[in-house]
Amino acid sequence: MSAISVRIAVVPGRSVIGIELPNADRESVYLRELLASQTFERTKAKLPLTLGKDIGGGPIIADLATMPHLLIAGTTGSGKSVGMNAMVLSLLYRLSPEQCRFIMIDPKMLELSVYEGIPHLLTPVVTDPKKAVVALKWTVREMEERYRAMSQLGVRNIEGYNARLLEAKKKGEVLSRRVQTGFDAEGRPVFEDQPLGTDPLPFIVVVVDEMADLMLVAGKDVEASIQRLAQMARAAGIHIMMATQRPSVDVITGTIKANFPTRISFQVTSKIDSRTILGEQGAEQLLGRGDMLYMAGGGRITRVHGPFVSDDEVEQVVSHLKSQATPEYIEDVTRDDENSAFGDSGSGNDSGDALYDQAVALVAREGKASTSFVQRHLQIGYNRAARLIERMEEQGVVSPADRVGRREVLVGNH
């Protein structure tokens, strides 16, 4: 046989083994025919991704909402960036900015910058790796805020939350949640009812085009944020699509890999890289130009031929979207104030009342105050904990330190 490569795999639903031989004359798969297919039009997927065609020529449409996160690897020229564009465009074709928003992180400054200015963006395309870390931390805080809002309404996911809002809107009912706004003179917490917005929460898709660049700048912070989002963000409607050219163990760590059960590998350079991304070899024998192995959550691997979409087509879609509406950016997504130091694993900032109120409640409840005590219990950095203690001293919550460093708590226990 004069075949370039051979792949042996189980044929799903049949008690036979299949031997895949690449066709000498490759057929091109175009994104347009997948978007126009009955499979895409009839899919009930909340976040449909057009992956391509299987070996039988049938369209493969996956749902990012059920994945719930996607890890993509592939060497230069394998079709990884084109595949990412096809997936992003399939979401843009199906969902409005009210239904889905994007945070795009592109340290290479080439692949995702074409989407700059579309109304779906929460922030301009992030190209600075340090700002990318800040954006990931903001996403973690947004996830936590959504969890608090959902718990107040007694729902378990974003679909239940939006359905509850829609139901209340039809009835003319005003929904509210109870939040702590501070402390009274005796140190007891003060609560207020704040009305919830009537607009449904959109899905948030975080697209990271080159994970290796982020890991070089702030590996621990990136890994911690990605891990929290991968473990918890599904119910909050936040999903991650993450790609890398270098699927080595220092980029795709065991922690990240364990939290991304759905993975796609385009052509890679070695068997080791294939095992890193998929857990088995085979991706090194792919043909490139969109040839991929798709591993769904259950571990079953399917060979897929990804669609081609040209740069001109992407630009035409983007220009059309820009003419429809202007983006409404949230400045806090990439705001890197002095409290967002990369060595600090805590989220939020100590100039906001939420973290300070937590610290005051902690020292009032326990009857002791020190920088290390606050740092340990709130899981924040030493510098931030020290600033919180200084602020408490200024506001009379704790006394100045005595000659051995002890402080007295001046507010009442509760």
Residue-by-residue pLDDT tens, the chain, 414 positions: 566 677 787 777 778 888 877 776 778 899 999 999 999 999 999 999 999 999 889 999 999 999 999 999 999 889 899 999 999 999 999 999 999 999 999 998 888 999 999 999 999 999 998 899 999 999 999 999 999 889 888 899 999 999 999 888 888 887 877 776 667 767 777 777 777 777 889 999 999 998 888 888 888 888 889 999 999 999 999 999 999 998 888 888 888 888 899 999 999 999 999 999 998 888 998 888 899 999 997 778 999 999 999 999 999 999 999 999 999 999 889 887 544 444 444 444 434 577 888 889 888 888 888 888 888 888 787 778 888 998 898 888 888 888 777 888 888 654
Q: Which H/E stretch holds residue 7? A: strand 7-10
Please say whether the beta carbons of 301 and 280 come within 8 A.
yes
Residues 6+ apart with CB under 8 A from 79: 266, 267, 288, 289, 290, 291, 292, 306
Model confidence pLDDT, tens digit, residues 251-302: 888 888 888 999 999 999 999 999 999 988 889 988 888 999 999 977 789 9
Q: How far apart are the first and last CA of the chain?
A: 80
Provide the 3-class DSSP secondary structure of residue 377.
helix
Residues 6+ apart with CB under 8 A from 363: 369, 373, 374, 392, 397, 398, 409, 411
Other CB atoms within 10 A of residue 163 CB: 13
Q: Which domains does the chain carry?
A: 28-146+200-333 (3.40.50.300), 341-414 (1.10.10.10)
- 208: β partners: 105, 242
Please say whether the beta carbons of 361 and 181 come within 8 A.
no
